[in-house]
Amino acid sequence: MSEGSDLYFRQIQAGEMANFVYLIGSNTTREAVIVDPAWNIPALLDIAKNDEMNVVGAMATHYHQDHIGGSLFGHTIPGLSEFLELNPAPVHVHKDEAEGTSQVSGIAVSELESHEAGDTLELGGITIRLIHTPGHTPGSICFLVEESGQPGYLVSGDTLFLGSCGRVDLPGSDPEAMYYSLNHTLKKLPDETLLFPGHLYSPEGQSTMGEQKASNPMLRVTSLEMFLGFMGVPS
Ligand SMILES: [Fe+2]
């Protein structure tokens, strides 16, 4: 964070699948949201508490168990439902992800805050913009953290990784939608935008959109056909 910034931003490694959880908020109002709370919820909330931040909401990039908790391979991963028990607050999802989030987390759809693409949350001088990036799942979203005069921060979930992108061979995946999410929606972001992915799948935990546009093969494809070829989708 640069000098004079109101942004409170923490990237936290969590769990056994190299997930990243994020705390994003305002240093002025001491309000933060938690992105993809999963694995050890008390430990995550302790981090916010030690930083004297009030967690006023949770945001889910998508409904997979390693991001929001749920039953996976016979194990139960704590997530959104434990978060709500310990820290009742709105849970923000894209409207196309509400049903899946409900099924995986056990939280009723009516208890979720369903959003349209482009919706924003304001925390002090910080704006968090929801960018709909379907492909990995139907309602996958990235969060663009904006502050006047500062570069944006993109929290990209399982849509864009450093040097790669999320899987598109899972139930609910759509390889063609992923191509447009990456090469039309996200590629338009300024080069100076800082990139924070949903997993540590690379030596570094963060990058910039400029670096990724220059080096990430999934952002360097020149056609849908080429992208589908990389993804192993028969044409
Ligand atoms: Fe995922």
Q: What is the mean pLDDT of the chain?
A: 96
For residue 233, what pLDDT is reported? 86
Task: Report yes or no on 92 lying in a domain.
Answer: yes
- Interval between CA 215 and ligand 1 midpoint (Å): 22
Q: Is the pLDDT of residue 4 over 80?
A: no
- Interval between CA 26 and ligand 1 midpoint (Å): 28
Average pLDDT over every residue of 117-142: 98
Rounded Cα–Cα distance for residues 199 and 208 (Å): 15
SS3 call for 141: strand
Domain count for the chain: 1
Task: Report yes or no on 235 lying in a domain.
Answer: no
| Kind plus residue range of the DSSP H or E element containing 180 | helix 175-180
Question: Quick one: tokens of 129?
Answer: 């913009």
Average pLDDT over every residue of 32-38: 98
For residue 35, what pLDDT is reported? 98
- Interval between CA 158 and ligand 1 midpoint (Å): 5
Task: Report yes or no on 1 lying in a domain.
Answer: no
- Interval between CA 54 and ligand 1 midpoint (Å): 27
Average pLDDT over every residue of 136-154: 97
Task: Find the CATH number of the domain harbouring 214.
Answer: 3.60.15.10
Q: Is the pLDDT of residue 3 over 70?
A: no
- What is the number of residues in the chain? 235
For residue 56, what pLDDT is reported? 98
- Interval between CA 166 and ligand 1 midpoint (Å): 7
Q: Is the pLDDT of residue 1 over 60?
A: no
